[in-house]
Structure 1
Amino acid sequence: MVSDARPEAETRPARSDPAAGSAATAPAPSEPPLTVIEPQTGWALPDLSELWRYRELLFFLALRDIKVRYKQTVLGLGWAVAQPLATMAVFALFLGKMAGASAGVEHYPVFVFAGMVAWTFFGNTVTTAAGSVVANERLVTKIYFPRLIIPLSTVGVGLFDLVIASALLAAMAGAVGIVPGWSVLLLPLVVGSLAVAAAGVGVLLSALIVSQRDFKYVLTFGVQLWMFATPSVYLPTDAIGPTAQTYLPLNPAYGLVLAFRQAALGGAFDWYAFGVSSAVGLLLAVAGLMYFRRVERGFADAI
């Protein structure tokens, strides 16, 4: 049985040779360090110093996932923008043209694409992180390392796709004459908040899926419903009533997607929506990390 725990190293003192003379011989070499693995218990946040010691593993797991995603594909990096572009076309046709959602919105396709870039990063990170522990069963059962490294590495893959899609977004905005204002300086903060919220939800789901595989089967459907429950992806703020604008930021994706578009394309920045959604995302991240730490010691047995 393999037990997940944090290793603590201690070195035993050297033993003297009883057959050696009192003055002549050198002391015997000391024994190698002894690693003691003990289970972790209780509710607490992960050990950040231990995660930092394994930062190279985090980097190489993210790099491995990036290579696997685009290996032997015809479009290559084009798959990073295929999903938001396809969804933008559907929304622009059915919501923009037929349902009239584009009324009062200049350059509605670019408007929707900006929202889809942020949502694709959020949704893909949640989905990939949720299934990452089960997908890396052999790593979990054979060697010790902080299990949290596995779902966190998926954030790097999402960031890679986000950079590519954002470059296309910048080109589209420049082509139609959209010039972002000072709020573009907030993009790193917005992307960081998106990453924290997505990683928190993904880490929580990854721990739940190890013990209850039902979550795996409803994950894709649930993420799709979540997108439609985030109207900032495809609707302007004016189309949402004041009551909805008050409570919708409790959905972390709502305020963060809205903030990403406002930062990337310019316009008044909604600090209320961004602040509430960021706070909710942070709370979800803390809850996910604490639950993951509490149950990770049994992953090797349950997986």
Structure 2
Amino acid sequence: MEVKERIITGKKSTAEYLKEIWLYRELFWILAKRDILVKYKQTVLGVGWSAIRPLVTTLVMAFAFGKIGKLNVDTSIPFTLAVVPGVIIWLFFSQSLQALSQSIVLNSNLVTKVYFPRVIIPLSTIFLGLLDVSIAVLLFIFFCVYYQFMPDWKIILAPLFIFLSFMSAFGIGLISAVLNVKYRDIGQIIPFVIQFGYFVSPVGYLTDNVRSISDNPWYYKIFVLNPVTGAIDALRWCMLGDFAKFNWDSFIPFIIFIFITFFWSISFFRKHENSFVDHI
């Protein structure tokens, strides 16, 4: 039997670290599969919850902001169609952020007993949200057929913007995962941030509504700094044809946010991952 010797050291180059992640790719798939199975285990509807959640959220948002809030009067397409891209991004972003922030703590038994690159754990959470997103996209197609709406060629860019929304959640979530190991208050703060962010992100309304009703121009400038705003605006642009124009005001801060948080969070995670066992 062939025996391979591996020297574990706390100081690895970026190339060595990436190579080690690749060597443990099988663990990545095992964790991803396990998370999905655990999520729907012992549920009556199973994966059906992935359809119920975006459907109910879309209908409630369309009724609350469209019918009651009267924000649907100036839309050239059914307001429900305008809400769906916001729901897709928000569900993916919020679920990814929640799963990322709790990933290390929930896998504490694995972290304390077996050696592997710890970043594999938060990386594997992407598939939890992707399943729901895939079903939500099918829901959008259903509404398109129902309202006889035909998206144009830009819809092929939808996977790119959905992936970028995960990247925006990944940076914050990875930092939160590290802090949550030492300070369990983070586990209480993240759900509050998600609940608050739901209303300050254009999920059930349009970014143009904020621009038009805001008396203070600084409010709009602060509003577009929200990374979720950039992701939703971009997805609406590619899914809703000529209805939504590309909003550079929100997209540029969105990309800058991803670039800064992604690389800084990886560095922050690598700096602290060797001390996880001490705090867990």
Matches within 5 A, 1:62-77: 62-77=32-47
- Give the letter for the 1:225 counterpart: F
Task: Measure, in 1, the Cα distance between the counterparts of 2:53 and 2:158.
Answer: 21
Aligned partners of 2:55 and 2:139 also within 8 Å: no
For structure 1, list consecutive stretches of 5 or more residues without a partner in the other structure: 1-30
Of the three residues 270, 274, 277, the one matched with 1:300 is 277
Deviation, structure 1 residue 86: 2.3
Q: Find runs of 4+ consecutive structure 1 residues off by over 6 angstroms.
A: none
- 1:183-207 Cα offsets, whole Å, 9 max, x none, are 1121122122112111222111111
Give the deviation of 1:59 after TM superposition: 1.5
Structure 1's 77 and 34: CA in aligned 2 closer, same or farther, altered over 3 A?
closer
Q: Which has the larger radius of gyration?
A: 1
Displacement after TM superposition at 1:89 (Å) = 2.6
Q: Partner of 2:74: helix, strand, or coil?
A: coil
Q: Name the count of aligned residue pairs.
A: 272
Report the 3-state secondary structure (helix = DSSP H, G, I; strand = E; otherwise coil) of the residue aligned with 1:38: coil
Counterpart amino acid of residue 8 in structure 2: I
Alignment of 1:163-182 (within 5 A): 163-182=134-153
Q: Which amino acid aligns with 2:145?
A: G
1 CA distance for matches of 2:30 and 2:74? 46
* Corresponding residue number in structure 1 for 2:131: 160
- 2:263 corresponds in structure 1 to 286
- The counterpart of 1:109, out of the listed 80, 90, 95, is 80
Separation of aligned partners in 2, 1:194 and 1:34: 40
Question: Does residue 253 in structure 1 map to residue 228 in structure 2?
Answer: yes
Q: Distance in 1 between matches of 2:104 and 2:15?
A: 19
TM-score (norm 2): 0.89
Q: Residue by residue, what CA displacement relative to the aligned partner does 1:190-227 show, whole Å, maximum 9, x if unpaired?
A: 12211211122211111110011011112111111112
Identify the residue that residue 200 of structure 2 maps to in structure 1: 229
Once residues 92 and 184 of structure 1 are traced to their aligned partners in structure 2, the CA distance between those partners, rounded to angstroms, is: 22
1:92 pairs with 2:62: yes
Q: Which residue number in structure 2 is paired with residue 240 of structure 1?
A: 210
- Name the CA distance, whole Å, in 1 between partners of 2:16 and 2:272: 12
Q: Distance in 1 between matches of 2:15 and 2:262?
A: 10
Secondary structure of 2:124's counterpart equals helix
- Counterpart residue identity of residue 144, structure 1: Y
Equivalence for 2:103: 132
Once the two structures are TM-superposed, the CA of residue 62 in structure 1 deviates from its matched residue by 0.7
- In 2, Cα distance between equivalents of 1:296 and 1:176: 50
Task: List per-residue Cα deviations over 1:156-198 (Å, max 9, x = no partner).
Answer: 2211221111111111122102211121121122122112111
Which consecutive unaligned segments of at least 5 residues does structure 2 have? none
Looking at structure 2, the residues matched to 83 and 201 of structure 1 have their Cα atoms a distance apart, in angstroms, of 24
Cα RMSD of the aligned pairs, angstroms, is: 2.3
Q: Does structure 2 retain, via aligned residues, the 8 Å contact 1:45–1:293?
A: no
Q: What is the DSSP-based 3-state SS (H/G/I as helix, E as strand, rest coil) of the residue aligned with 2:6?
A: strand
Secondary structure, aligned partner of 1:36: coil
Contact 1:46 1:290 survives alignment (8 Å): no
Amino acid at match of 1:248: F
Give the alignment's TM-score, normalised by structure 1.
Answer: 0.83
Identity %: 35
CA distance in structure 1 between the aligned counterparts of 2:16 and 2:210, rounded to whole angstroms: 39
Residue type matched to 1:249 in 2? V
Q: Distance in 1 between matches of 2:249 and 2:150?
A: 24
Structure having the higher helix fraction is 2
